[in-house]
Amino acid sequence: MNSMKTTSFIRVLFLALTLSLTPTFRAESLKTVDDFTAAATKANAVLTLPDWEHTPEAVDAMMKTAIDTANKGLDEIGNQDLSKVTFKSTVVALDDLTWAAGNAASRAVVTKESNTDPKVREAAENAVKIFQDWAVGIDYREDVYKALKAFADTKPKLTGEDKKLFDETMRDYRRAGLALAPEKRKEVEDLRKELAKVGTDFDTNIVNAKGPVVFTKAELDGVPDSFFSSPGVKTGDDAYTVMSNVTWQYVTVEENAKNEATRKKLYVIHDSLAKDTNRTVLNQMLALRNKIALRLGYKSWDDFQTEVKMAKTGAGAKKYINDLISGIQPKFAAEVADLQKMKAADTHDPNAKIGTWDWRYYDNQLVKQKYAVDKEALRDFFPFQKVVDGMFNIYQSIFGLKFEKIEAPYKWVDDLQLYMVTDAASGEPLGMFYLDMFPREGKFNHFAEFGIISGKQLVDGKYQRPVCALLCNFPPPSADKPSLMTHADVETLFHEFGHCLHEITTRAKYGRFGGTHVPGDFVEAPSQMLQNWVWDKKVLDTFAADYRDPSKKIPADIIQKMNDAKKATAGIFYRRQFAFASLDLAMHDAHPENAQWDCVDISNPILEKVFLPIDPSTTMVTYFGHMNGYDAGYYGYAWADAIAADMATVFEKAPQGYLDKQAGMKLRKEIYEQGDSRDVAVSIEKFLGRKQSVEPFLEKIGVKGGGNKNKAPGPSKEQR
Ligand SMILES: [Zn+2]
């Protein structure tokens, strides 16, 4: 929380899907990294494989050495003659040492999530904690700050990426309070500590909040049989206990229970979870954040939080969300009207209204009636290896790359694969990626891309090429069938591998700006854009085929139905998202120093205005975990979705659509290679060849073109 540094050290990018690669055994032996040394030298690049630790002792020692080395570097910066400071001896030296330490931390994170020895994982977990504690302290090294300040006082004339690095490094210090007088700084530090403590209470109260509700079988009419036989649900003769705090139980009942009173009762309990504890706690958090922001010279917490994002100001984020709220209105209203008709028919009440407790149920009915697709049957079209090869072919072709499987000198599991990425035209090696695709005991249980070595220009002028890994959990092959993926798995794979490309193709000079080290409200956008690929028949037909008879492709009407289903409830889905974004920004808006304001008084009216009628006794925000961590940041989800849709238009308008090479190369050059070395808003506009627009997003979710004419959304006018 106290600076962006800690978070930018270790960047793990989650989302959806995995790649599972069945090991392909080839007669010829694989190339090794050494086979690419000559090409790397020619390109003035360095290829390094991580030196993996295999024992707990080695992990401990690795982190100790990394921190000692970094501390030595910090001492050197702090001990220099302040009359002779240079850009290199201050700002760049700090980037060098934080980059090296960050790589050590990233390796520890991957070890923690993937090593097969629980003792090694435990040591790595500990190493990550040690690193995080140490990283927080960097901002508070007074001697280091003095050296950087001495350089800043020379009023250096810098340009481009150098200037950006300088500005943002000094900004970090200002945000940490180092630019304040000592007693004021102490105050901010104390407020931060208190905020961290109250934040922990907030999280704990959410974890501890339990909301059991007992229903009879009749009251749960419509809920699938499998629910009743789940462990712990049947608690007596005709008594079924639904835990409103257990998400799948809550959602299953809300989606399926025919009885409105049942849905409403459960919803009221759910949206009142942690009401007695967290209303006070959240109010304290809001007041503390406000105080910190004011002390640091910001008008509000949302200004403080968005300064380092694309949005840049709270007002910029608010305008964007408000434009989306009004832009989506026709689609939202139409969807609610459809649900209302269904409810009117159900209840024989022509005036029936859709409340917050109704939308899941009627959305579910609508999708079942109109757009049902057998998701399980679709798996036959997605055998793992075919999907991976298909995706590789597409990405290699559109981004001008070549992927070659190479020998991994160290494998933490047998089926681990390592690939070298080269530029297809010049043969320049660009970096490497590991694929660890199937689940196992003790492994990271989701799908994510992990940076291991970030790209950076080294002190000797050579460029360190990046290394990253995908840790995924695709369905393993069974005795009689290959690994068969769901469509959602395929989408996840296309998404996660996008992060890999962003990481590996980077050309940013400084570690701080390399690859995916871009603002948090942008980092997901390029990968979210790539998710479009798997909803397109032309793309799917290049690799998706029935594994028993590859001449069979997915029928066009099925793909159409899937697309229609996605669109059918998008208005409601997004208006709910926008309501959350709005109430988050409103709670963190400008308030005078000692003002009193209440989280529920602010958020409940917004929920009702932007989304659907609520029960006035509920306190949804008291159980909204995002408010500790994504505070004044929830808008980022919608922000990235809208940018992703906007960027996709470059492909959609290109002659070859999602398979267009020119559009792909433009993405590689203007977005991936740049990282954060220039303002991402500039990169986006260079890629688009025009100003940003929310229109494509609205069109994508089904608002007919012309519904909203807001061009250049986001922080446009104020910022540029
Ligand atoms: Zn992602």
Q: pLDDT by residue (tens digit) across 272-313? A: 999 999 999 999 999 999 999 999 999 999 999 999 999 999
Q: Report d(CA 449, CA 500) in Å as an integer.
A: 6
CA of 152 to the centre of ligand 1 (A): 36
CA of 534 to the centre of ligand 1 (A): 16
Helices 247-256, 260-270: inter-axial angle, 10-degree rounding: 150
The DSSP secondary-structure symbol of 54 reads: -
CA of 252 to the centre of ligand 1 (A): 27
CA of 11 to the centre of ligand 1 (A): 11
Segments in 541-660 forming alpha helices (H):
556-568, 570-587, 599-610, 635-652
CA of 698 to the centre of ligand 1 (A): 22
CA of 489 to the centre of ligand 1 (A): 13
pLDDT digits (tens, 9 = 90+) for 355-378: 999 999 999 999 899 998 888 899
Assign 445 a pLDDT band (cuts: 50, 70, 90): confident
pLDDT value, residue 20: 36
Q: Report d(CA 212, CA 201) in Å as an integer.
A: 22
SS3 category, 154:
coil
- Residue 226: CB partners within 8 Å, gap ≥ 6? none
Closest to 438 measured CA to CA, from 67, 84, 114: 114
CA of 237 to the centre of ligand 1 (A): 46
Exposure b/e, 705-718, CB count within 10 A at least 16 = b: eebbebeebbbbee
Q: Report d(CA 603, CA 609) in Å as an integer.
A: 10
> Helices (H) and strands (E) in the chain — how many of each?
28, 12
**Hey, which residues does 549 pair with through a beta bridge?**
546
pLDDT digits (tens, 9 = 90+) for 564-588: 999 999 999 999 999 999 999 999 9
CA of 641 to the centre of ligand 1 (A): 12
**Hey, which residues does 463 pair with through a beta bridge?**
45, 457
Q: Which two tokens stand for residue 87?
A: 């850009």
CA of 119 to the centre of ligand 1 (A): 29
pLDDT value, residue 423: 98
CA of 527 to the centre of ligand 1 (A): 6
CA of 17 to the centre of ligand 1 (A): 10
Q: Exposed, middle or buried by CB within 10 Å (0-12, 13-18, 19+), for 657?
A: middle
Angstrom distances, CA of residue 720 to CA of 159, 386, 712, 717: 17, 46, 11, 6
CA of 494 to the centre of ligand 1 (A): 10
CA of 8 to the centre of ligand 1 (A): 15
CA of 498 to the centre of ligand 1 (A): 8
Q: Report d(CA 130, CA 124) in Å as an integer.
A: 10
* Look-up of token digits 């700090």: 94
pLDDT value, residue 10: 52
Q: Report d(CA 201, CA 98) in Å as an integer.
A: 31
Q: Are 252 and 223 in contact (CB under 8 A)?
A: yes
CA of 63 to the centre of ligand 1 (A): 27
Q: What angle do CA 521, 526, 527 make, to 5 degrees?
A: 100
pLDDT value, residue 28: 62
pLDDT digits (tens, 9 = 90+) for 619-662: 999 999 999 989 999 999 999 999 999 999 999 999 999 999 99
CA of 639 to the centre of ligand 1 (A): 14
CB atoms within 10 A of CB 620: 23
pLDDT value, residue 713: 34
Model confidence at 719: pLDDT above 70: no
CA of 127 to the centre of ligand 1 (A): 25
CA 36 vs. chain centroid, Å, equals 33
Tell how strand 45-46 and strand 463-464 pair up. parallel
CA of 267 to the centre of ligand 1 (A): 30
CA of 555 to the centre of ligand 1 (A): 29
CA of 451 to the centre of ligand 1 (A): 12
Model confidence at 250: pLDDT above 80: yes
CA of 165 to the centre of ligand 1 (A): 25
Model confidence at 530: pLDDT above 60: yes
CA of 499 to the centre of ligand 1 (A): 7
Assign 22 a pLDDT band (cuts: 50, 70, 90): very low
Model confidence at 18: pLDDT above 70: no
Assign 52 a pLDDT band (cuts: 50, 70, 90): very high
- Residue 673: CB partners within 8 Å, gap ≥ 6? 505, 506, 507, 508
pTM (predicted TM-score): 0.89
Segments in 115-259 forming alpha helices (H):
118-138, 142-153, 160-176, 182-208, 225-228, 247-256
CA of 15 to the centre of ligand 1 (A): 4
Q: Are 496 and 84 in contact (CB under 8 A)?
A: no
Q: Exposed, middle or buried by CB within 10 Å (0-12, 13-18, 19+), for 665?
A: middle
CA of 500 to the centre of ligand 1 (A): 10
What is the arrangement of strands in the sheet containing 456-457, beginning at the earlier edge strand?
Answer: 45-46, 463-464, 456-457
pLDDT digits (tens, 9 = 90+) for 682-702: 999 999 999 999 999 999 998
CA of 449 to the centre of ligand 1 (A): 8
pLDDT digits (tens, 9 = 90+) for 103-155: 999 999 999 999 999 999 999 999 999 999 899 888 889 999 999 999 999 99
Assign 593 a pLDDT band (cuts: 50, 70, 90): confident
CB atoms within 10 A of CB 270: 25
CA of 459 to the centre of ligand 1 (A): 31
Task: Compute the average pLDDT of residues 450-463.
Answer: 96
CA of 710 to the centre of ligand 1 (A): 27
CA of 49 to the centre of ligand 1 (A): 24
Closest to 17 measured CA to CA, from 576, 454, 483, 634: 483
CA of 330 to the centre of ligand 1 (A): 30
**Hey, which residues does 239 pair with through a beta bridge?**
236
**Long-range contacts of the stretch 531-534 (C-beta < 8 A, 24+):** 531/16, 531/491, 531/494, 531/495, 531/644, 532/644, 532/648, 532/651, 532/658, 533/394, 533/494, 533/658, 534/487, 534/490, 534/491, 534/494
Task: Compute the average pLDDT of residues 534-560.
Answer: 97
CA of 260 to the centre of ligand 1 (A): 37
* Look-up of token digits 């993937």: 114
pLDDT value, residue 7: 40
SS3 category, 29:
coil
CA of 361 to the centre of ligand 1 (A): 29
CA of 13 to the centre of ligand 1 (A): 5
Closest to 198 measured CA to CA, from 686, 613, 684, 599: 599
Q: What angle do CA 701, 703, 706 make, to 5 degrees?
A: 135
CA of 309 to the centre of ligand 1 (A): 17
Q: Are 147 and 77 in contact (CB under 8 A)?
A: yes
pLDDT value, residue 709: 39
Q: Report d(CA 154, CA 364) in Å as an integer.
A: 64
Mean pLDDT for all residues in the chain: 92
CA of 65 to the centre of ligand 1 (A): 31
- Maximum CA extent, the chain: 83
Q: Are 138 and 74 in contact (CB under 8 A)?
A: yes
Q: Which two tokens stand for residue 60?
A: 């401990």
Q: Are 568 and 370 in contact (CB under 8 A)?
A: yes
Task: Compute the average pLDDT of residues 40-63.
Answer: 97
DSSP per residue, 465-483: --EEEEE--PPPP-SSS--
CA of 672 to the centre of ligand 1 (A): 14
CA of 628 to the centre of ligand 1 (A): 20
CA of 250 to the centre of ligand 1 (A): 26
Q: Report d(CA 388, CA 382) in Å as an integer.
A: 9
CA of 180 to the centre of ligand 1 (A): 37
CA of 511 to the centre of ligand 1 (A): 20
Q: What angle do CA 687, 708, 314 make, to 5 degrees?
A: 70
pLDDT digits (tens, 9 = 90+) for 463-491: 999 999 999 999 898 888 899 999 999 99
CA of 14 to the centre of ligand 1 (A): 4
CA of 620 to the centre of ligand 1 (A): 27
Q: Report d(CA 263, CA 422) in Å as an integer.
A: 55
Closest to 521 measured CA to CA, from 292, 320, 289, 710: 320
CA of 524 to the centre of ligand 1 (A): 5
CA of 526 to the centre of ligand 1 (A): 9
Q: Report d(CA 82, CA 88) in Å as an integer.
A: 13
